[in-house]
């Protein structure tokens, strides 16, 4: 088969080759599956990753390639000569799973039994194998026993780390986080296992203080140093990815709402001075009182190398944004001292200086700037209380651009707008964001932030549609905590908003308040009582025929 395989140059020709052979060994399945996936990925890259979407829309060319892949996977399942788990190695199982996950076709029961048997006995699996297995299982909806995987990792961590690269560790942590999204059960490495990973990273040659002076960003280590470390060829992307993955894994729940991220602060804004930014090379954390804290040491070492990359102009825009976001999460999950807080402010300010260089106002439309980037930049300006006029001026002009916006992204941007004041942008750009909210029906994805979304809409009431406010308020009625917060916001911000609500919304608000037994802080109770008075007053006005024109003009 191998001599013929060298002549294959496309998926259709590979399909003809596969069809002409009666049976396959696990090794042959591995080779053919890897070849098919390689061809498919090349085609997918050519079509900018939209092969499957084009197929669903009826694209002829894309439909042909996906059908060929499906036929190959079906033939391999039918003609494999052995489904005994002992005859399959991880290197043979994973390419087969990769093919089946991309083909998106039915899987034979014998093949499913084979996969489940391999998941039970994980001997021979490395960290990258385990991460890829979890990814393919999620695509195939096989439901692996993740606690068993975590137990295997914990028992064999020393063996696994010897053969793992930085990207393998990063892939595993990100895969576990993928399983945690929307899942009440959080799958995390235990404290001892995570500490061993951090100690392994801290002891690698790139983090050793003895070789820092000999490390060159452009050339790596000096030629006279014998390099056997798998992390010697470090890139800025690898460094920021592993830092981001570690921080998010340490976080108990990274699905943090904006209200949790933006902490209470005595100062509305922090203006970093030259004195505060001095000592740029100083560590983030003072480890003198906690010398054995591997996370603190890892954070210090990571940022030391990040600053070297930035000073050599070998960084990238996405990586800097990821580091800023990780800093925000790090500040929420650790008890930090005043020294660490000041260091974080100085570091984040320096990172925003680099962002200003990327987002220079002289550059009209950078190709690497997307709505997701703006969301993170704007959100963390409010998180760290940084009043950066230049940064806001550079990114505010992109608010009105025609780009894809998620509801959560609009929420973050409006939150920063309301924090810094509407003067950072003009009414038309705020109107663009509000129109996105007004036309969107996907508010369920941010139900935890509905109260924040509502107050942001009220802050920009001059460009809001009353239909949007009513829709958000009706959604908040389903959540008791959101209801209390909304009533407080409605009363404290501007009670005249009640004059614009429809009778249906007022009635639903009245019934919802009566349904819940209002207990809690006296402030909430008084706000609820006064809000009820406004509701009753407005409903009486409508009942006795008062005109809406006067009330609307007041608002």
In this prediction, residue 3 carries a pLDDT of 65
In this prediction, residue 210 carries a pLDDT of 31
Mean pLDDT of 381-397: 76
pLDDT tens per residue, range 245-287: 998 888 754 444 333 444 433 333 343 333 333 344 455 555 4
In this prediction, residue 452 carries a pLDDT of 57
For residue 119, give the nearest of 143, 136, 144 by alpha carbon.
144
Residue 153 has pLDDT above 90, yes or no: yes
pLDDT tens per residue, range 444-470: 444 445 555 555 555 555 445 566 667
Mean pLDDT of 326-342: 79
Q: What angle do CA 383, 388, 392 make, to 5 degrees?
A: 90
In this prediction, residue 437 carries a pLDDT of 57
Residue 229 has pLDDT above 60, yes or no: no
Residue 213 has pLDDT above 60, yes or no: no
Given pLDDT bands bounded at 50, 70 and 90, which one contains residue 399? low
8-17, 57-66, 439-448, 507-516, range with the lowest pLDDT: 439-448
Higher pLDDT, 365 or 171: 171
Mean pLDDT of 147-151: 92
Residue 83 has pLDDT above 70, yes or no: yes
In this prediction, residue 527 carries a pLDDT of 54
Measured in whole angstroms, how far is the alpha carbon of residue 224 from the centre of its chain? 41
Given pLDDT bands bounded at 50, 70 and 90, which one contains residue 148? very high
Measured in whole angstroms, how far is the alpha carbon of residue 292 from the centre of its chain? 30
pLDDT tens per residue, range 215-226: 333 333 333 333
In this prediction, residue 169 carries a pLDDT of 92
HEC readout, 466-533 = HHHHHHHHHHHCCCHHHHHHHHHHHHHHCHHHHHHCCHHHHHHHHHHHHHCCCCCCHHHHHHHHHHHH
Q: What is the DSSP string of 426-442?
A: -HHHHHHHHHHHHH---
Residue 133 has pLDDT above 90, yes or no: yes
What percent of the chain is helix, strand and coil (3-state, nearest 5)?
Answer: 70, 0, 30
16-30, 82-96, 131-145, 280-294, range with the lowest pLDDT: 280-294
């Amino acid at each position: 088969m191998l001599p013929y395989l060298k002549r294959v140059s496309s998926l259709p020709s590979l399909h003809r080759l596969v069809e002409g052979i009666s049976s396959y060994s696990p090794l042959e399945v591995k080779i053919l599956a890897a070849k098919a996936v390689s061809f498919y990925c090349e085609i997918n890259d050519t079509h900018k990753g939209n092969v499957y979407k084009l197929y669903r829309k009826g694209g002829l060319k894309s439909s042909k390639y996906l059908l060929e892949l499906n036929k190959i996977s079906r033939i391999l399942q039918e003609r494999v000569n052995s489904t005994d788990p002992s005859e399959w190695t991880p290197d043979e199982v994973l390419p087969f799973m990769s093919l089946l996950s991309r083909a998106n076709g039915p899987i034979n029961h014998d093949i499913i039994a084979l996969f489940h048997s391999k998941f039970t006995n994980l001997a021979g699996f490395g960290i990258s194998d385990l991460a890829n297995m979890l990814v393919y299982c999620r695509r195939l909806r096989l439901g692996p026993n993740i606690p068993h995987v975590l137990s295997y990792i914990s028992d064999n961590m020393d063996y696994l780390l010897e053969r793992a690269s930085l990207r393998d560790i990063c892939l595993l942590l990100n895969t576990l986080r993928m399983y945690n999204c929307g899942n009440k059960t959080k799958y995390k490495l235990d404290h001892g296992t995570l500490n061993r990973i951090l100690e392994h990273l801290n002891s690698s040659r790139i983090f050793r203080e003895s070789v820092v002076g000999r490390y060159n960003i452009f050339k790596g280590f000096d030629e006279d140093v014998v390099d056997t470390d798998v992390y010697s060829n470090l890139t800025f992307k690898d460094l920021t990815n592993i830092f981001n993955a570690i921080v998010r894994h340490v976080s108990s729940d990274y699905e943090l709402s904006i209200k949790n991220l933006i902490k209470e602060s005595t100062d509305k804004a922090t203006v970093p001075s030259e004195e505060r930014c001095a000592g740029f090379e100083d560590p983030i954390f003072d480890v003198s009182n906690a010398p054995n804290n591997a996370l603190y040491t890892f954070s210090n070492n990571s940022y030391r190398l990040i600053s070297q990359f930035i000073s050599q102009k070998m960084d990238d825009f996405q990586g800097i944004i990821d580091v800023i976001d990780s800093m925000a999460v790090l500040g929420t999950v650790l008890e930090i001292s005043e020294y660490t807080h000041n260091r974080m402010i100085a570091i984040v300010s320096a990172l925003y200086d680099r962002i200003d260089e990327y987002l220079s106002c002289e550059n009209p439309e950078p190709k690497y700037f997307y709505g997701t980037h703006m969301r993170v930049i704007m959100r963390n300006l409010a998180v760290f209380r940084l009043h950066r006029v230049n940064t806001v001026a550079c990114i505010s002009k992109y608010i009105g651009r025609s780009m894809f916006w998620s509801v959560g992204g609009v929420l973050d941007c409006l939150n920063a707008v309301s924090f810094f004041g509407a003067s950072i942008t003009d009414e038309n750009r705020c109107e663009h964001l509000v129109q996105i909210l007004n036309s969107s029906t996907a508010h369920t994805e941010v139900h935890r932030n509905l109260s924040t979304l509502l107050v942001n809409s009220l802050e920009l009431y001059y460009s809001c549609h009353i239909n949007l406010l009513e829709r958000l308020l009706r959604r908040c009625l389903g959540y008791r905590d959101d209801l209390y917060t909304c009533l407080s916001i409605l009363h404290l911000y501007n009670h005249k908003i009640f004059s614009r609500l429809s009778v249906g919304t007022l009635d639903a608000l009245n019934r919802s308040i009566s349904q819940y037994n209002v207990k809690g802080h006296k402030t909430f109770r008084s706000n609820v009582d006064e809000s009820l008075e406004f509701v009753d007053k407005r409903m009486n006005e409508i009942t006795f025929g008062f005109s809406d024109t006067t009330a609307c003009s007041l608002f």
